[in-house]
Structure 1
Amino acid sequence: MKRPHAFAATFLAVLVLVGSTAAATNGRPSTPVTIEASDPSQTEMAERAVDRFAQAGLKLPPLRIVFPGRDLSLCGGAQGRAYLSAEPVEVRMCWNSEFTLLHELAHVWEAFNMAASRHEPFMNMREGVASWAGLGVAWESRGREHAANVIGWGLLEDPHPISRTYPNDIASMIEAFTFLTGRAPLHDGGEGIQHPDRTLFDGTASAPIRSGR
């Protein structure tokens, strides 16, 4: 049976794409979302991702999620990118990946909900972080990428270890998610088994789990 979610999608023609407008209901935080996608499965994935934030009580601002195609140049050279200065905020997805979308939506949530005073304490919980968002340091050395990975992991429907940002053992990830959001993840971390995570990083397998304990 298909899992019910908190959206009523209405499909509209938007240029050459298909769009839908969705909002969370059932007492969860409501987020007006416009989704532009050429494939109904992309629309469904976007609805589920936004619903995961609503289930966790993490309110997103009004936003637009666009699937422009597989050309990474349409997403700023990445598989997905959040454009925080756009009005409304826009997340562009050039890769059909649940985790990538949750990661980008986590950037949106963090930018609109996390006080700057919490950056340093969070970075001190993590390994190898040199700056919150400095472009002069490696991707995995930016605190905001750690935060997006942690939040994305905490909202996964089928949790698996996340690569490149450490520590990534279950206990450390739960602790970090709770620190960032004030809430528990939507899962208990599942089984501590290493799975390849090819959703973000050029098809390479994940590094081994590394504990912060």
Structure 2
Amino acid sequence: MILGHIGARKGSKGVPGKNFRMIAGKPLIDWSLDLLFESDQIGAVVVSTDDERIYDHAVAKGALDIGLRPAHLATDSAPKWGVWQHALEAAQEKLGQPVTAFVDLDCTAPLRLAEDLTNAIALFQSQKPDMVMSVCEARKNPYFNLVEADEAGALHVSKPLPGGVWSRQTAPKVWEHAASTYVLDPDYLRRAKTIYEGRVIPFEMPAERCLDIDSPLDFKLVEMLMAERHSPEATQ
């Protein structure tokens, strides 16, 4: 069984209450939650949260009743990895059958499409890595136009290559870690302590579907893009 997961902590310093805030006609969390419920590949859904409103909302929609997230996993510094591990084990106890893949959709990245979820799962099933992680092509490149200062304060390219790289097109391709869509081997999630211990492979998504809401400006930008996507003109 493939288990779908969403983490939605109550606290948010950048955009207070963002995970349950209305955007384009429904709570932010529902743009990810509904994708999981509508997918015929997802066998069960679990929501990890310390917010009673979000928890009751998710369970009413059909999420597993695992209780609220433990307090030590609801702080600003609590790692995503620990939240995933707890959710997997709590859900496993309720399901009574093995979980074959753990799929996490980031609540604050509502612009992904159903095809992104489907394609990420397909990549995981075909390549059999420890983990599939969503990425998008980076706008800046450490081999070309990302710089850092040395001890004397002079700037240098962050990752210099012999002979130098003088155009973006000839620079090695790099990606941004897009907090959107993840697919994990449950055994890897149980035994590892951090994301990159195993074979983690990229699932590339268009940058415009990877926007992550961390600030009021992000919220406005995503709201504008969603309104544009769901406008009558866009659906014709």
- TM-score w.r.t. the length of structure 1 is 0.29
Query: Which structure has greater strand proportion?
Result: 2
Q: Which has the higher contact order (CA 8 A, sep 6+)?
A: 2
Which one has a bigger Cα radius of gyration?
A: 2
